[in-house]
Amino acid sequence: MVFDFIRLELLKSIRSTAFAKSALVAVFLGFLAILLLAYVFLLGFVLKEIIIKILEVVDAIDFVNSNLIYFFLFEFMYRYFIQKLPVIELEKFLHLPISKSKIIHFLLIRSFVSPLTLISLLLFAPFAFQEVALKFGKSSGVMWLCSILLTSWSLHWLMLWFKQKFEDSLIGIAIVFGVMLLGVGSSYYGWYNLGNILKPLFELASISPIPLIVLLLIFFGLYFMAYQYYFQNAYLEDLGEEETIRFANQSLGVFSRFGMAGELADLEWKLIIRHKKSRTFLMLSGFFLLYGLIFYTNPAYQAEEGFSHMFIFVGSFITGIFMIQYGQLFLSWNSGNFDFFLRNREGVNALIKGKYLLLIGISCMCFILSVPYAYFGWDFLLIHLATFLFNMGVVIHLVVYISLWKPKPMDLNKGAMFNYEGVGIAQFFMIIPMMGAPYLVYLPFALFINQYAGLLALGILGITGILVFPKLSALSINRVMQNRYEISSSFRQEL
C-alpha cells in the first residue's frame, strides 16, 4: 500500500506538465537545493572556527547554547513561508476504500521528507562531534544533537498544524510577526535576553537525558496534534474553503479615467487580490520596500564621496520589485481565461495595456512610499527617481517582452514560495537585462563624468522611453497577437 502511494507520487512529479516542459528548471532547482544544503553543511563545519576566531568568543558551546533559540525562531519563520501543506493531495484519495488514518499518516510522513528536515542536522552535527563530544564525551554530543534535531523536527509538525489552521488569516500573520518581535525585542533592544533564559535547557541536554525524553514526547505529541487536526478536517469543504468575496463590486477609481485599459487594469487588480499567489507577490513587494534599510545604513556600502554604485541596484528593486516579479509572468496570470480576451474585439490589446497601467500604477505607489528614504540623504531620493523613471521607460518593456517568450500556464491558487509554475527559461534570463540595463547606462557616465551624470542619463533615457510608450508597448501587443494560437493552446494545456 505504502509503496503504491510512493509510486504514485513519483509518477505525479515525473508526469506533471510543469516537469516535462521545464525539466531544465527542475534540474536547476535541484542543483540549487543541493548547493544550498552544501553551504549549510560547510557552515556547520566551520561553525566552531567562526565563533572562536571571528566572533572572538572563548566558550563556543556556551555561545551556541545561548543563541540556539534565535535559530529556532528563525526556523519558525522560514518554515512558515516555505513549508508546503500536504492536504492538497488528500482529495484524490478520500473517496477510495483506504482508511483515512492511513492516508493522513502517509501524507504527514511524506511531508517530512524535505530538505528543510536536513538543515539543522547539517548545521549542528559537525559542531556536536567536533566540540560537544570532545568536551563532554560522545554520548553527550549525541544527546545534544538529538535534542536539537527533535526541536527542529517538532517545529515541522507544529507548522503543519499552524499553517493549516491560520494561514491567510490575520491571526497567523500576527503570530508570525509576534515571533519576529520576540527575537528582535530581545537581541536588538535588550529588553530581556531570550538566549540566556533558554540556555540552561540546552546545556542540560548535553549532560542529562531528561530534555531528550521530554523533547521526544513533544515531538510525538505535536505529530499527534497535526494528525488529529488533519483527521478531523479531512473533508473537502475544510480543505478548499470558499473565500469570502474581496472588493465586491468595487473598483479603483484612478483607473477608470483610462478607458478600456483602465477597466482591465481594475480587473487585474481584482485578480491579484483574489488569488493566493498574486497576493503573496504583492505582500513581498511591501517587504522589499524595507530593502533599503539593509543597504543604505550599512557601513560596508558607505562610499568616501557620493554613494555606492550598488545603490542603483537597490533603487531599481525598491521602485520596481512588483513590476519585475509580477511582470515576469506577464500573461501566465491570465492563463485560465486567456480565451476570454481573445474572443473579444481588441481584448488582447486592452488586456496588455491594462497590465502596463497596473504595473505603472503600483510602481508609482512604491516610489511614493520610498520617499521617506530621503531621511538618509537626498541622494537616495535622486537614485529612486532616476531608477523609477528608468524602470518605467525601459525595464518594463524588457521584462514584458522577454516574458512573452513561451508563457506557461499556472495555478493562481497555490502559494508563491518555491512555486515555480509558469517559470521557464525566459524568467531566468530576464535577470540579465533587469540588473544589467541600469548599469549599462549608468556606469559609463558615473565613471567618466560623475555619479549624478549617471543618474541623469538613467532619468533622461527613462523619460524618453515613457514618451515613446505607445510604440514600445505596441511591440509587445503585436507579439502576443502573432503568437496567440500557441499561447492560447498552451494555456489550455493541450501541448
Partner 1 sequence: MITVQGLKKQYKDAVVLDVESLEIPRSECFGLVGNNGAGKTTLFRIMLDLVRASAGQVLINGEDVSKGEAWKAKVGAYLDEHMLLSYLTPDEYFATLRKIYGLSEEDLKLHLAKFTEFFNDEILSKKKYIRDLSKGNVKKVGIAAAMMGNPEVVLLDEPFENLDPSSQNRLKKFILREKETSQVTFLISSHDLNHVTEICDRIVLLEKGKTIKDLKEKELMRGELNEYFGT
* Positions in the binding site for partner 1 (CB under 8 A): 242-245, 248-249, 260, 263, 267, 270-271, 274-275, 336-340, 342-347, 350, 412, 484-485, 488-489, 491-492
Is the CB of 31 or the CB of 247 nearer to partner 1? 247
Which residue, 208 or 493, has its beta carbon nearer to partner 1? 493
Min CB(343)–partner 1 separation in Å = 6
Reported as half-sphere exposure (CB side, CA atoms, 13 A), residue 126 has a value of 14
Q: At what angle do helices 431-448 and 378-390 cross, to 10 degrees?
A: 130
Minimum CB separation of residue 238 from partner 1 in Å reads 15
Q: Which residue has the cell 558615473?
A: 446
Q: What's the closest the beta carbon of residue 263 comes to partner 1, in angstroms? A: 5
Residue with Cβ nearer partner 1 (14 or 273): 273
Cβ neighbours for 484, distance < 8 A, ≥ 6 positions apart: 342, 348
Task: Write down the least CB distance from residue 321 to partner 1, Å.
Answer: 23
> Minimal distance in Å, beta carbon 331 to partner 1?
13
Q: Which is nearer to partner 1, 270 or 414 (CB)?
A: 270
Q: Quick one: 263 or 379, whose CB is closer to partner 1?
A: 263
Please answer whether residues 133 and 146 qualify as being in contact, where contact means their C-beta atoms are separated by less than 8 angstroms: no
> 127: which 3 cell numbers?
559542531
In the bound complex, what is the minimum distance in angstroms from residue 409's beta carbon to partner 1? 10
Contact 79, 111 (CB under 8 A): no
Which residue, chain included where needed, has cell 497576493? 279
Taking the complex as a whole, the smallest distance from the CB of residue 229 to partner 1 amounts, in Å, to 24
Classify burial at 26, counting beta carbons within 10 Å of its beta carbon; exposed 0-12, middle 13-18, buried 19 or more: middle
- Smallest distance from partner 1 to CB 487, Å: 10
Separation CA 268–CA 359 (nearest Å): 10
User: Shortest approach of partner 1 to residue 199 CB, angstroms?
Assistant: 50
Nearer to partner 1, 80 or 269 (CB): 269
The residue among 458 and 487 lying less far from partner 1, judged by its C-beta, is 487
CA–CA distances in Å: residue 85 to residues 47, 80, 92, 221, 415: 32, 10, 15, 19, 10
Residue number, 185 or 347, with CB nearest to partner 1: 347
Query: What's the burial of 170, exposed, middle or buried (CB within 10 Å: 0-12/13-18/19+)?
Result: exposed
> How many other CB atoms sit within 10 Å of the CB of residue 456?
16
Q: What is the CA radius of gyration of the chain?
A: 26
Number of H helices, E strands in the chain: 26, 0
Nearer to partner 1, 267 or 446 (CB): 267
CA neighbor of 484 nearest in space, from 303, 334, 309: 334
Q: Where in 202-263 does DSSP place strands (E)? A: none
Of 96 and 248, which CB lies nearer to partner 1 in the complex structure?
248
Roughly how many angstroms between the first and final C-alpha of the chain, as a whole number? 33
Q: Minimum CB separation from partner 1 for residue 11, in Å?
A: 25
User: 281, 324 in Cβ contact below 8 A?
Assistant: no
CB 274 → partner 1: shortest distance, Å? Answer: 5
Residue of 436, 482, 476 whose CA lies nearest to 356: 476
- The rounded distance, in Å, linking the Cα atoms of 384 and 390 is 10
- Considering the complex, state which of residue 109 and residue 273 has its C-beta at the smaller distance from partner 1: 273
